[in-house]
């Protein structure tokens, strides 16, 4: 990210962010990228239609793909914000596990499903605030601070649960209804996923908070000179990521009927991969929520296709690795072509 | 080389001991109720004998079954006034487990019970223990060198698959199903134990002229069980029978089945968790049976270690000494006998 025009651009107020000068071009690029992602999705859909004509294009399979994507999807929204803001969050899976465990201890469960859900959200946000504070005010590198949170949150989750799987008690089954109750044929948790995506999109594209996120990620020094409280904003980005982990915890509890310290293993990698495939730069300053969600759907669709066709998991991992590399190579070419 | 290992072992072992002293032994405030301890068989062998110290090393519990192993070992040891139980900090790191066992050798315990993270990689340290005159009871994951241990006790993975295959075969045969759709949800596919289970399952089904239609691997966790089952149910709109290797991941599998609102098939679990037993007992679940791979083997291993250290044999057998190898049978738990097994189920 070394565009000399950036630091000269007016920052902060109105639509003119640090990327003000390049916004039209960027938008075009964004759409171009989305075309590529939608093309990849279309190819996968065709593969599905050809290999499993009777099972793939059914309503129930599409719904199950969306349900599968919901958990990591919600996390991906938060991760997109953090990465656009120039950071990285490795702790997402562990924080989600901790939130799910905290919300399903017998003590929490005695207060009912609403308190359980609130507990998950508070625990997630709290953990995010702690890492955010360490990064913004404690001057820890994001990679290290979130790595520390990954390890510590997983450990705390194990300690709290005594490494057991905590079942949601029958009297709190209202939480499980999020997964089993369907409105217009779609499980409630898919609506939660959609709502988070929409809210995330609005926050990123239609609010000062969103513009500041691009500014902080693109050029923190310019953002500071423009009067943005970069530290406070950075802390809030991680809190937002934690909040998403809390919501994801509610979804995983509903889907599996449990809270467990083993939930969310390696989710950080899936979330980061989805964000990268979606065209968000790891160096910050650029990216879209829609791209991340498309990236995630590509991953989920691959898993679904492999299982429908009875192929084994190892090949699935190879395919995912290849897709990450191809996506990044294509993005680099796009960037070069764009360079003056 | 061995000198190197010993030196490093000394350093790390010391650290492990320190860590163990600081972190273990805290009373576990378990949020879920724990299963009652399996009762000791009455008999002359349970009378107090020579005082013995039994060292215990196992992987860290990231799974209900392993957690039950550690708990069962401790409970069994506490039943005896003549046993001092000396567990080391559980770990999933091979290096740390080697050091932990070395520390137990240095402490000159009377017998060792070891569930290795990997039999191959802990073989060397088990040999060291044997050479130091400490009898090793090898729990479940076997050491490749027979000189490394005095007695092996463990489950029968192949037999587990066979038991599941027979149950499903008989059920489908009695319903006169032809060309049944049989799906299998494995644990971690790369483990030999998973491959043995699948082999046993396939071999038993072959006796009935059936075969597995589709199999997929999960990773022994609730979440992966849920993910795999969700897609597998989509892949097969009608299923006749399902075997899920592991009751821990089975919680997620059952949640996926409920979410998909499917009930046309019979499901068989694996391991024998308390939760699976409650499902079987309810009579309303697709889960109709589970084949055991019971963590009670840890209680038995402690009992064997005690007998070996005291120089006693098993009172029901004629031999003066404990046998060299004991393979537990995989038992099939159904609605008819679940009440007898309830107390042995472990909380996942």
Give residue B39's pLDDT. 47
pLDDT, tens digit, 9 for 90 and up, residues A51-89? 888 888 888 888 888 988 999 999 999 999 999 999 999
Classify residue A54 as exposed, middle or buried by CB count within 10 Å of its CB (0-12, 13-18, 19+): exposed
Is the per-residue pLDDT at A206 higher than 70?
Answer: yes
A2 touches chain B (CB under 8 A): no
Out of A52, A163, A180, the one facing B259 most closely (by C-beta) is A180
* Candidates B26, B68, B186, B230, partner chain A, best to mutate (most A CBs within 10 A): B230
Give residue B34's pLDDT. 42
A107 touches chain B (CB under 8 A): yes
> What is the number of structural domains in chain A?
1
| Average pLDDT of span A180-190 | 89
Greater confidence (A117 vs A304) lies with A117
Q: Is the ipTM of this complex over 0.90?
A: no
User: What residues form DSSP beta bridges with B182?
Assistant: B241
Lowest-confidence region among A174-188, B17-31, B271-285: B17-31
Two structure tokens written together for B31: 């949020």
Whole-number Å distance between alpha carbons of B117 and B113: 13
Residue A228's domain comprises 31-42+54-338
Give residue A337's pLDDT. 59
Whole-number Å distance between alpha carbons of B271 and B260: 25
Distances from the Cα of B298 to the Cαs of A247, B72, B89, B102, B277, in angstroms?
39, 6, 16, 21, 20
Greater confidence (A46 vs B36) lies with A46
Q: How many residues does chain A have?
A: 340
Which of A277, A289, A286, A65 is closest to A199 using CA atoms? Answer: A289
Whole-number Å distance between alpha carbons of A152 and B102: 28
Q: Predicted confidence band at A336 (pLDDT cuts at 50, 70, 90)?
A: low
Whole-number Å distance between alpha carbons of A298 and A277: 9
Domain membership of residue A16 (yes or no) is no
Q: Which residues of B touch A154 (CB under 8 A)?
A: none
Domain membership of residue A151 (yes or no) is yes
Is the per-residue pLDDT at B168 higher than 70?
Answer: yes
Q: Predicted confidence band at B118 (pLDDT cuts at 50, 70, 90)?
A: confident
* Candidates A60, A168, A313, A314, partner chain B, best to mutate (most B CBs within 10 A): A313
Residue ranges of the alpha helices (H) in chain B?
A: 2-23, 64-78, 94-106, 119-131, 157-174, 192-207, 222-235, 247-260, 274-282, 297-310, 338-341
CATH of the domain at A87: 1.10.3470
Distance from the A58 Cα atom to the nearest Cα atom in chain B, whole angstroms = 9
Give residue B7's pLDDT. 46
Using DSSP bridges, classify how beta strands B325-327 and B111-114 pair: parallel, antiparallel or unpaired.
unpaired
| Average pLDDT of span A106-111 | 88
B230 touches chain A (CB under 8 A): yes
Share of chain B above pLDDT 90, in %: 66
Q: Which residues of A touch B234 (CB under 8 A)?
A: 55, 58, 60-61, 64, 304, 307-308
CB atoms within 10 A of CB A3: 17
Domain membership of residue A24 (yes or no) is no
Give residue A126's pLDDT. 96
Domains of chain B: 49-155+295-312 (3.40.50.2300), 157-292 (3.40.50.2300)
Give residue A335's pLDDT. 63
Concatenating the DSSP letter of every residue in A286-299 gives ---HHHHHHHHHHH
Domain membership of residue A80 (yes or no) is yes
* Candidates A179, A256, A267, partner chain B, best to mutate (most B CBs within 10 A): A256
CA dihedral over A10, A15, A17, A22, signed as positive or negative: negative
Whole-number Å distance between alpha carbons of A116 and A55: 36
Measured between its terminal Cα atoms, the distance across chain B in Å is 42
Q: CA B129 from chain center: how many Å?
A: 23
Whole-number Å distance between alpha carbons of B235 and B233: 5
Domain membership of residue A181 (yes or no) is yes
Which of A53, A95, A33 is closest to A298 using CA atoms? Answer: A33
A182 touches chain B (CB under 8 A): no
Spatial CB neighbours of A154, under 8 Å, sequence gap ≥ 6? A94, A97, A98, A261
Whole-number Å distance between alpha carbons of A223 and B193: 56
Greater confidence (A314 vs A200) lies with A200
pLDDT, tens digit, 9 for 90 and up, residues B212-268? 999 999 988 899 999 999 999 999 999 999 999 999 999 999 999 998 999 999 999
Whole-number Å distance between alpha carbons of A314 and A281: 28
Give residue A6's pLDDT. 40
Concatenating the DSSP letter of every residue in B151-209 gives EEEE--HHHHHHHHHHHHHHHHHHTT-SS--EEEEES-TTSHHHHHHHHHHHHHHHHTT
Domain membership of residue A62 (yes or no) is yes
Q: Residue B145: CA atoms inside 13 Å, Cβ hemisphere, count?
A: 13
Q: Predicted confidence band at A285 (pLDDT cuts at 50, 70, 90)?
A: confident
Domain membership of residue A192 (yes or no) is yes
Domain membership of residue A290 (yes or no) is yes
Out of A61, A162, A261, the one facing B30 most closely (by C-beta) is A162
| Average pLDDT of span B95-112 | 91
Which of A280, A334, A273, A264 is closest to A299 using CA atoms? Answer: A273
> Residue B223 and residue A68: Cβ atoms within 8 Å?
no
Whole-number Å distance between alpha carbons of A55 and A297: 18
> Residue B223 and residue A313: Cβ atoms within 8 Å?
no
Which of helix, strand or coil describes residue B114?
A: strand
Lowest-confidence region among A4-8, A186-190, B88-92, B292-296: A4-8
> Residue B260 and residue A64: Cβ atoms within 8 Å?
yes
Which CB contacts under 8 angstroms, 24+ apart, belong to B133-137? B134/B55, B134/B105, B134/B108, B134/B109, B134/B110, B135/B111, B135/B305, B135/B308, B135/B309, B136/B111, B136/B112, B137/B111, B137/B112, B137/B113, B137/B301, B137/B304, B137/B305, B137/B308
């Amino acid at each position: 990210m070394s565009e000399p025009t950036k630091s000269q651009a007016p920052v902060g107020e109105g639509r003119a962010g640090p990327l003000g000068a390049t916004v039209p071009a960027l938008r075009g690029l964004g759409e171009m990228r989305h075309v590529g992602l939608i093309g990849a999705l279309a190819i996968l859909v065709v593969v599905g239609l050809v290999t499993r004509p009777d099972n793939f294009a059914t309503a129930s399979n599409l719904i199950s793909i969306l349900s599968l994507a919901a958990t990591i999807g919600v996390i991906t929204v938060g991760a997109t914000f953090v990465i656009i803001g120039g950071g990285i969050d490795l702790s997402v899976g562990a924080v989600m596990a901790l939130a799910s465990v905290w919300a399903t201890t017998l003590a929490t469960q005695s207060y009912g499903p609403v308190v359980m859900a609130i507990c998950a959200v508070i625990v997630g946000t709290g953990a995010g605030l702690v890492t955010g504070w360490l990064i913004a005010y404690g001057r820890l590198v994001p990679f290290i601070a979130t790595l520390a949170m990954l390890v510590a949150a997983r450990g705390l989750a194990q300690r709290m649960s005594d490494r057991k799987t905590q079942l949601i008690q029958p009297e709190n089954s209202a939480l499980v209804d999020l997964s089993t109750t369907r409105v217009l044929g779609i499980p409630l948790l898919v609506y939660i996923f959609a709502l988070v995506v929409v809210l995330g999109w609005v926050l990123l594209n239609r609010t000062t908070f969103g513009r500041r996120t691009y500014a902080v990620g693109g050029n923190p020094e310019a953002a500071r000179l423009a009067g943005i409280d970069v530290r406070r904003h950075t802390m809030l980005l991680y809190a937002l990521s934690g909040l998403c982990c809390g919501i994801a915890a509610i979804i995983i509890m509903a889907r599996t009927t449990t809270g467990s310290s083993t939930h969310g293993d390696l989710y950080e990698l899936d979330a980061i991969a989805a964000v990268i495939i979606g065209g968000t730069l790891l160096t910050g300053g650029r990216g879209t929520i829609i791209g991340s969600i498309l990236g995630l759907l590509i991953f989920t669709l691959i898993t679904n296709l492999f299982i429908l066709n009875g192929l084994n998991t190892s090949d699935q991992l190879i395919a995912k690795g290849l897709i990450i590399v191809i996506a990044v190579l294509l993005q680099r070419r796009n960037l070069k072509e764009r360079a003056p | 080389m061995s000198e190197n290992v010993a030196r490093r072992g000394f350093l790390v072992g010391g650290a492990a001991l320190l860590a163990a002293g600081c972190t273990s032994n805290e009373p576990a405030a378990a949020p879920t109720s724990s299963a009652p301890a399996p009762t000791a068989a009455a008999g002359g062998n349970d009378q107090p004998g020579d005082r013995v110290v039994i060292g215990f090393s196992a992987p860290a519990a990231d799974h209900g079954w392993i957690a039950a192993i550690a708990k069962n070992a401790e409970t069994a040891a506490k039943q005896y006034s003549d046993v001092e139980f000396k567990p080391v900090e559980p770990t999933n790191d091979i290096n740390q487990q080697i050091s932990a066992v070395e520390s137990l050798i240095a402490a000159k315990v009377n017998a060792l019970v070891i569930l290795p993270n990997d039999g191959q990689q802990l073989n060397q340290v088990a040999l060291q223990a044997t050479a130091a005159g400490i009898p090793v009871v090898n729990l479940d994951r076997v050491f490749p060198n027979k000189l490394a241990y005095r007695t092996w006790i463990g489950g029968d993975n192949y037999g587990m698959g066979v038991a599941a295959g027979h149950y499903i075969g008989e059920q489908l045969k009695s319903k006169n199903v032809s060309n049944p759709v049989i799906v299998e949800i494995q644990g971690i596919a790369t483990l030999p134990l998973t491959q043995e289970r699948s082999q046993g399952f396939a071999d038993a089904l072959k006796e009935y002229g059936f075969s597995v239609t589709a199999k997929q691997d999960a990773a022994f966790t609730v979440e992966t069980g849920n993910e795999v089952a969700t897609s597998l149910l989509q892949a097969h709109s009608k299923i006749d029978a399902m075997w899920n290797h592991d009751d821990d991941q089975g919680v997620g599998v059952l949640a996926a089945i409920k979410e998909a609102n499917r009930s046309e098939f019979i499901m068989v679990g694996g391991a024998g968790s308390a939760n699976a037993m409650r499902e079987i007992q309810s009579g309303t679940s697709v889960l109709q049976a589970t084949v055991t791979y019971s963590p009670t083997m840890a209680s038995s291993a402690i009992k064997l270690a005690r007998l070996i250290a005291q120089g006693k044999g098993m009172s029901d057998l004629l031999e003066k000494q404990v046998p060299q190898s004991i393979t537990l049978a995989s038992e099939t738990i159904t609605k008819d006998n679940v009440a007898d097994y309830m107390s042995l189920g472990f909380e996942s």
